[in-house]
Structure 1
């Protein structure tokens, strides 16, 4: 159910259809040194998933990447794990007024997980701020929607569309995000902060985990900004 990518780092991949195209989605779980679990982009819960998470540790922090990515099932974690703390990405507290958030995510890591997980904000977009995370012990960058990695394992319809939009076979920035960046200087500064991290692996919100040449591939994905 949860694949262990490295010690204390787990991913759950599941299908996701977006406008008729199967792009998949990845949920990331980081086990902190005290056994608490940091959950990013939470997937829907089933009894088996609840049991699997309890086997990994104590679900403590539940985070989205943005007001669009990774928030749809947060209420399930609130019910299943009464001690869990929910965090809002910029704008999500207004969009999900039904949830009682315990904190707001920003461009600096929250002290509750800062010893293991760093974070920054991707800025410059017209209407969306995404929070990016970095798990220091495993050198893993955790992204939401700013990069996809769609490859030959994707369904034919998705592969064809990815080729058409220049997003097939490698780490790539979706065209809709490229065209809606309003402040390229702010976006470049955001990318430079991300590239300053010493990461060797990338877990994207949609697509395959990147295990080789991760920093080079992310840098190349953002060459259009320079």
Structure 2
């Protein structure tokens, strides 16, 4: 069920329709030096997916990227793995009052995963703060809604909508998110912090994974901000 994309790094893709448009979603799984698994943007924990995860190792941490992205199904992981720790992006705890979170994510990674994974808070938007992750062993950047990447393999309707939202064959947020940035200088600084990482691969929040040349792709997708 998983695609291994680098050293101790796997992805799992599943469909996701939003207002009738197929966007897809991607779960990332990283095996830590300690042996445990760090899961970002968890997918629905079907019996088949649980068996595949258990074959990789023990699920220790489950993280959402923002209060909007990657928090679905976290309750299933809490039920299936009693010792798991749920990690909340800024604003998520207030939205998911049904869950007890163990850690609030910010700019600084916890030492328990910090050897393998770095993180940065992307701030400056009116109502959304997102956590970007960098998996060092596989040189992979993992994004959420600040990094759509809709390509030619998507359905025609999705491609047409993506052109309108300015996310077709670009790693970039949709135009409505761009237009609601309230502090462009702060947002730009956050993206430059991400670009300082030594990544080659990019896993977007929705769309197609860029397996190589990812830094150039982010620079090109954010030319509207970085010029």
TM-score range, shorter chain: over 0.9
Aligned residue pair count? 226
| RMSD (Å) for aligned C-alpha atoms | 0.9
CA contact (8 A) 2:87 2:105 kept: yes
Name the TM-score, length of structure 2 as normaliser: 0.97
Q: Does 1:202 align with 2:202?
A: yes
Deviations 1:64-91 (A, max 9, x none): 0000000010000000111110011101
Equivalent residue of 2:33, what SS? coil
Contact 2:33/2:115 (8 A) holds in 1: no
Q: Take 1:100 and 1:162, find their aligned partners in 2: how far apart are those partners?
A: 36
CA distance in 1, matches of 2:151, 2:77: 31
Q: Distance in 2 between matches of 1:13 and 1:220?
A: 25
TM-score by length of 1: 0.98
> Residue 23 of structure 2 contacts residue 207 of structure 2 at CA under 8 Å; is this kept in 1?
yes
Partners of 2:148 and 2:191 in 1: CA distance: 15
What do residues 102-157 of structure 1 show as CA deviations (whole Å, max 9, x unaligned)?
A: 11001111222000000000000001100000001111000011011111111111
- Paired position in structure 1 for 2:71: 71
Q: Which segments of 5 or more consecutive residues in structure 2 lack a partner in the other structure?
A: none
Which runs of structure 1 show a deviation greater than 6 angstroms over 4 or more consecutive aligned residues? none
Instruction: Structure 1: give runs of 5+ residues left out of the alignment.
Output: none
**Equivalent-residue separation in structure 1 for 2:12 and 2:155 (angstroms):** 19
Moved more, 103-112 or 122-131: 103-112
